[in-house]
Structure 1
């Protein structure tokens, strides 16, 4: 028995041999933005070579990206403030979680400051990067201050003398709420 070689499918032949170019027979112009196969071949042969950026341009781009990283915590502050305001000042699981996140995220951000900016460091932009790092630290400190504001609003910060001294009388509240059973 003779083995018959499998024939190549037509779609494989079509991939290797594109259809012939049809000549333009009408006086209708090509649509705007359309390039025929012959003009695209001309453009492919006359392609310009991309010039690599200089070190100054690279340093400027790195510094711009570093500033985006530095100001990113400031973009989160309004949403965090709204969430803290809406969660209320009572001791509930949601408000406690909000306070925990308000302290955890800035502290982790402060500890990872150098790691956040190490990919942007180069010899040409060290001075500008120091300023961006200081702005980043400032934004993280503002986020911590927002957490402290929330803790103070919840009444958990010791701000009176009676909180520290045993012989001082505690402050009398202006009003009391008594639940009815």
Structure 2
């Protein structure tokens, strides 16, 4: 490099001058590239936005159905875990059973929050919500069935003995002097 010739030297072919030139042509003076017209962009905006809204509505409907089917995977996993826990009453089987009961209950309480991101005028959420509720009720039924197999549900008369009144005396016998 010669002395006095820097990176932005006057003789450089690809040098960029960032100084403010008020006489520079505006972007309107530059012609559009071949095949491009500004009028067609404005007309197509409504069609493109309609297509985007339709695509977004389809995506939301698809995701709503995926969320609605998610409890099925949980149902299969809980069923397998309950089967592995066995039918004896111990801490692990009781914990799995109460977890199988709690998860559907908490999911049923939050149905509105689960499907809130997918609300749209074009998306029908009744079907996915009903499927979500049905699968969670199935999970709840699975938990109640497991409680029954563990013998923790009061389904026999002997489970209610403490609440029965004492039996009436039908006979009276007493010892004493024979006559």
Other-structure match for 1:60: 58
**TM-score of the pair, normalised by structure 2:** 0.61
Alignment root-mean-square deviation, CA: 2.9
How far apart are the structure 1 equivalents of 2:157 and 2:54?
A: 58
Work out which of the residue numbers 130, 137, 140 in structure 1 matches 2:136: 140
Other-structure match for 1:93: 91
Instruction: Describe the SS at the equivalent of 2:102.
Output: helix
1:167: Cα distance to partner? Answer: 6.3
How far apart are the structure 1 equivalents of 2:131 and 2:160?
A: 35
How far apart are the structure 1 equivalents of 2:127 and 2:100?
A: 24
Work out which of the residue numbers 144, 147, 154 in structure 1 matches 2:150: 154
Other-structure match for 2:119: 121
1:63: Cα distance to partner? Answer: 0.7
**CA distances 1:38-79 after superposition (whole Å, capped 9, x unpaired):** xxxxxxxxxxx9x55432221111011000000000112122
How far apart are the structure 2 equivalents of 1:139 and 1:149?
A: 15
Superposed counterparts of 1:157-176, under 5 Å = 157-164=153-160, 166=164
Instruction: Describe the SS at the equivalent of 1:105.
Output: helix
How far apart are the structure 1 equivalents of 2:96 and 2:62?
A: 32
How far apart are the structure 1 equivalents of 2:80 and 2:122?
A: 40
1:90: Cα distance to partner? Answer: 1.7
Other-structure match for 2:30: none
1:114: Cα distance to partner? Answer: 0.4
**CA distances 1:137-173 after superposition (whole Å, capped 9, x unpaired):** 00100010110111001001111233235369xxxxx
Other-structure match for 2:67: 69
1:123: Cα distance to partner? Answer: 1.1
Instruction: Describe the SS at the equivalent of 1:123.
Output: coil
Instruction: Describe the SS at the equivalent of 1:156.
Output: coil
Based on CA coordinates, which of the two structures has the bigger radius of gyration? 2
- Tell me: CA distance 1:167–1:85, structure 2 relative to 1, closer, same or farther (3 Å): farther
1:111: Cα distance to partner? Answer: 0.7
